[in-house]
Amino acid sequence: MELAACVVCIMATLLVYGVMQERIIRVPYGSSGEFFQYSLFLVFCNRILTCAFAITVMLVLKKDLSPVAPIYKYGGVSLSNILATTCQYEALKYVSFPVQTLGKSAKMIPVMIWGTLIMQKRYGLRDYLLALCITAGAAVFLLYGEGAQTKSLSGGENSIWGLALMAGYLGFDGFTSTFQDKLFKGYSMEVFNQILYVTLCSCALSTFGLLTQGNLFPALSFISRHRDCFFHVFLLSLAATASQFFINHTIKTFGALTFAIIMTTRQLVSILLSCLWFAHPLSWKQWLGTLLVFGSLYYKSYAGATDRTKQAVKEPESVELQGKTDTAQQV
């Protein structure tokens, strides 16, 4: 039930986040048709609100505000998170939201690679095959949806630079969640503690970036001229703040790979529910993609339960064998 609640909350908050993100970046403001060009300013606003909320919650709950891990480790998560978010925003200038959604279906592979490099995890052939099946199924479902092959995948939109930014997003995002997982496991760290110090580092880094680029005051001037943009940025930051708490709790409780699976399947589930709700027909290729994703998830759940059962059986046997050995030695 806890995992299901995390999935629902992550999906709901990121749905609002995605809509606001595309509205701010891709739709012009005002009669002059001005586009918002300050991606790092959005990161700054997101982190400021998240930081303020984390401090408030910790003070209300009377939690210790001192850092648990060295500051540079929080800074590592912060830097990779800023780079991932900036790549995500910048990519929307070159590829459409559906194309970006398609790219996000490959989240599991970078997480597994980073898990091997950072946490010395060992994934078997079965794990990689399941990751490939889930990724392929989600990609097939998104690629062959109604209207998916029109503007979203055509012409200059699908540029090399846009795809490079998406690759950067996947790499940095995979590092972020994996290193967060490592911090949770390596230190006695609560969710609010990590969020607070990661966002504090992000505020400092994004402020430095905005000042050196000379974009802080132009961004403030833009949202002062376009009040609807101010409202959209506030909604984006609110959704980002809420999603951060659910995401961090999921990573701490269930691990980075489980979070990557949730993020991959949510793309498919949201479109599938939309098709069912509005009675849009699904092609046979989309049904094949759906079967591939949920079949892989079911097999992963079944195989995991089987492995845990085998481990539980082995442990009493090993204890019993050790007891017999000790008795024999005493005789």
Angle between helices 97-104 and 71-91 (to 10 degrees): 140
Largest CA distance in the chain: 94
Nearest-angstrom CA–CA distance, 237 and 47? 8
Q: Who's near 252: CB < 8 A, 6+ residues apart?
A: 180, 181, 184, 191
Q: Greater confidence, 272 or 160?
A: 160
Residue 65 CA, distance from chain mean position = 26
Average confidence score pLDDT of the chain? 81
Secondary structure of 235-257 as H, E, C letters: HHHHHHHHHHHHHHHHHHHHCHH
The DSSP-derived string for 261-281 is HHHHHHHHHHHHHHHHHTTPP
Q: What angle do CA 125, 127, 132 make, to 5 degrees?
A: 95
Question: Is pTM, for the whole model, over 0.75?
Answer: no
306-324 pLDDT, tens digit per residue, is 665 665 555 555 545 555 5
235-289 pLDDT, tens digit per residue, is 999 999 999 999 999 988 888 888 888 877 776 676 666 667 656 677 788 788 8
61-85 pLDDT, tens digit per residue, is 988 888 999 999 999 999 998 899 8
Is pLDDT of 295 > 70? yes
Question: Which of the four pLDDT bands, split at 50, 70 and 90, describes residue 152?
Answer: very low
Report the b/e string of 39-54 with b at 16+ CB within 10 A.
bbbbbbbbbbbbbebb
How many other C-beta atoms lie within 10 A of the C-beta of residue 239? 21
